Amino acid sequence: GGGQAERRLPFHCCALTLTPYQQPVCTGNGIVFENTALLPFLLKHKVDPVTGSPLKSRDVIQLHMDKDEEGRWQCPIMTKPFSDHTKIVAIRNGNDANVYSWQAYQELNVKGKNMEDLISGQKFTKKDVIILNDPENDEFNRLRDINNFHHVLHARSLDINGKPSTNVQHSVTATRIMEKLKRTASSSSSSSGKEAAARNTANKKPRISSEIVTGKRYTSGATSGSLTSSSVAVSNTSQFREATEEEILVARFGVMRNQLKKKGYATVQTNMGDIGLELHCDMAPRTCANFLGLAEAGKYNGTKFHRLIPSFMIQGGKGLDPKDDESLWGGSFVDEFDDRLVHDAEGILSMANAGPKTNKRQFFLTFGPTAHLNRKHSIFGKVIQGMEVLREMKKVPTDKKDRPVHEIIITGVQVLVNPAKEAEDMERVRIEKAMNLKRSETESRKASALGRKQASTSNKLPATIPTTSTAPAVGKYLAKNVQKKPASKKSDGDQQHNDDLLNKTKA
């Protein structure tokens, strides 16, 4: 009734489900819905869920909205995230519409006397402008008051609760109780939701696009997938895909293999003596990064060489806890083979596995040539110091299960040179520079779109804003692709350092 407090619908929420939308559409009056929720409702009830007026699916307008790096809806021109206090418009072209802030529309269309869509370049009239959000418009906000929504007022007759209908039929009393509980839960969760959002924002890692990491432009695939499969939800935006953890790792391993081209060095400390290892980070970067990372995390400390076959090899690295027997990244990882690396001598360091692509953390050292293991086990290093310790281990008697009778314990692994860490640091710096450059171009686009001049003595307009109305219009306010700088070459000083270390360990 009239005594109810206003419950204005948040801009980012669907007017039917009352939850955040992912595939936004709107009606002619500017109310935004989730496409996958609205269409089934229209097929069943054939009325606008907010006003109750007749509405057909052909009257629904697809909204094309931009997102920032954190996944928030934003103005593609001003690059400012939309909020409930932002005045927002959609420029309609048939059953499609691009979404902008009112400020961008006023500055570049109205004041600039340029009635062309800022992205598509299509001409439009003021009748094509749809208000999606206006905090100062009382009449519009009354329309967005959830208390006045047709589907809320007639929930029983429509048999909906903002969600797809189920087979459960509630009594009138039960429905009233559930609605009251919903209102109470919504009210009590608002403050905690804000606190949780603040915590998430503080702990959130920056989103890194796959383009920055791989140098290739990938999208999420949602738009093309929705066009070719009825089982995929409809998508109207082509967002660039966030880089996967694997892509980030592959880029890092590429630095190790192609730029650094350095060996790693570590010392395995045991109760029988120390064994110095040279690690082939330039030929098996993933396997070396796994070993070095586990070693620096102390994962090998206190573990045993649990399997010994005198004519074959000695195996170690098994976790003290059976549950703690995974790779540095969890689970297992793929094999790395290089024709330059073969099991042709004693002291070859190689990965133990249970078949292809099952590498985790266990490794072995050979007591002699084992050619039958080539391209079956990933070689990632060799013994360069302490070969006599390995030979003493070979003499330790074993039981019927090939377990050493006398315990051979790894007391620790000292990492001397870690190219994996260096590559990680190099990639982090490169990515940060690329992201800063991208943000800088975004700010430049914003300034250009508003017609502001950069600090300069020149009186020329920014190149991105045409000086005449005859200039090409399509995408004229969008930023150009980020130009990436070629990675700088490392000097030979690091390799000389490795050679000095190798000579020192051999001495």
pLDDT at 222: 54
Pairing label, strands 348-351, 129-133: unpaired
Long-range contacts of 368-374 (CB under 8 A, 24+ apart): 368/311, 368/312, 369/343, 369/344, 369/345, 370/312, 370/313, 370/343, 371/342, 371/343, 371/344, 373/343, 374/342, 374/343
Phi-psi region of 54 (alpha: psi -120 to 50; beta: other; left: phi over 0): beta
Radius of gyration of the chain (CA): 32
pLDDT for residue 25: 96
Under a CB-based contact definition with an 8 Å cutoff, are residues 99 and 107 in contact?
A: no
Concatenated DSSP letters of 322-355: TT----TTSS-B-----TT----STTEEEE--SS
At residue 168 the predicted structure's pLDDT band, cuts being 50, 70 and 90, is very low
Q: Give residue 291's pLDDT band: very low, low, confident or very high (50, 70, 90).
A: very high
The average pLDDT across 277-295 equals 97
> Lowest-confidence range among 357-366, 371-380, 497-506?
497-506
Residue 315: strand, helix, or coil: strand
- Tens-digit pLDDT profile for residues 221-270: 555 555 555 555 555 555 567 788 888 899 999 999 999 999 999 999 99
Residue 194 has pLDDT above 70, yes or no: no
> Would you state the torsion angle of the CA atoms of residues 428, 433, 436, 440, taken in this order, to the nearest 10 degrees?
-170
- Which residues, other chains included, contact 468 with Cβ-Cβ below 8 Å and sequence gap of 6+? none
For the stretch 454-487, pLDDT in tens is 444 444 444 444 444 444 444 445 444 544 445 4
What whole-number distance in Å separates Cα of residue 98 and Cα of residue 118?
9
Instruction: Please give the Cα distance from 439 to 183 (Å, whole number).
Output: 41
Question: Which residues does residue 190 pair with via DSSP β-bridges, in sequence order?
Answer: none
Between strands 24-26 and 73-74, the pairing is unpaired
Q: What is the pTM of this model?
A: 0.49
* pLDDT at 344 exceeding the cut of 90: yes
Q: How far apart are CA 436 and CA 434, in angstroms?
A: 5
For the residues 145-169, what does the mean pLDDT come to? 68
**What are all long-range contacts of 491-499, with beta carbons under 8 Å and residues at least 24 apart?**
494/260, 494/262, 495/261, 495/262, 497/417, 498/262, 498/263, 498/265, 498/417
325 versus 386: the higher-pLDDT residue is: 386
Q: Write the pLDDT tens digit of every residue in 39-97.
A: 999 999 999 999 999 999 999 999 999 988 778 999 988 888 999 999 999 999 999 99
pLDDT, tens digit, 9 for 90 and up, residues 369-400: 999 999 999 999 999 999 999 999 999 999 99
Q: How far apart are CA 19 and CA 130, in angstroms?
A: 22
Q: Where are the alpha helices (DSSP H) in 144-284?
A: 150-153, 155-158, 172-203, 210-214, 222-228, 245-254
What is the Cβ-side half-sphere exposure of residue 449, based on CA atoms within 13 angstroms? 29
Residue 416 has, within 13 A of its CA and on its CB side, a CA count of: 20
Coil, strand or helix: which one is 96? strand
Q: What three-state secondary structure class fits 134?
A: coil
pLDDT at 176: 59
Catalytic residues: 307, 312, 315, 353, 364, 373, 377
